Amino acid sequence: IGKYIIDNLLARGFHVRALTRTARAHVNDNLTWVRGSLEDTHSLSELVAGASAVVHCAGQVRGHKEEIFTRCNVDG
């Protein structure tokens, strides 16, 4: 889902910062990858610093304890 949101925003001329767990190649001057995770407050702070809007589309859907669901889907 995130790829489609990013592609749509880039097509409309927005600058996008996106969170990634693994290193990504530079593909667009308007796209900046921030390496980190939803549990890493430092990377989240870097991700949203100065942003005029935030789109949160990450989520856990299966296979984890309730506390992990809450941490990702509610707190994240």
Which pLDDT score, from 0 to 100, does residue 50 have?
94
Distances from the Cα of 71 to the Cαs of 9, 26, 49, in angstroms? 27, 30, 21
Q: What is the pTM of this model?
A: 0.75
pLDDT per residue over 25-44, tens digit each?
888 999 999 999 888 889 99
**Which residues form the domain of 32?**
2-75
Domain count, the chain: 1
Helices (H), the chain: 2-11, 41-48, 66-70
Choose between 58 and 48: higher pLDDT: 48
Give the least confident one: 3-7, 31-35, 58-62. 58-62
Rounded percentage of the chain residues whose pLDDT exceeds 90 = 54
Which pLDDT score, from 0 to 100, does residue 63 have?
61
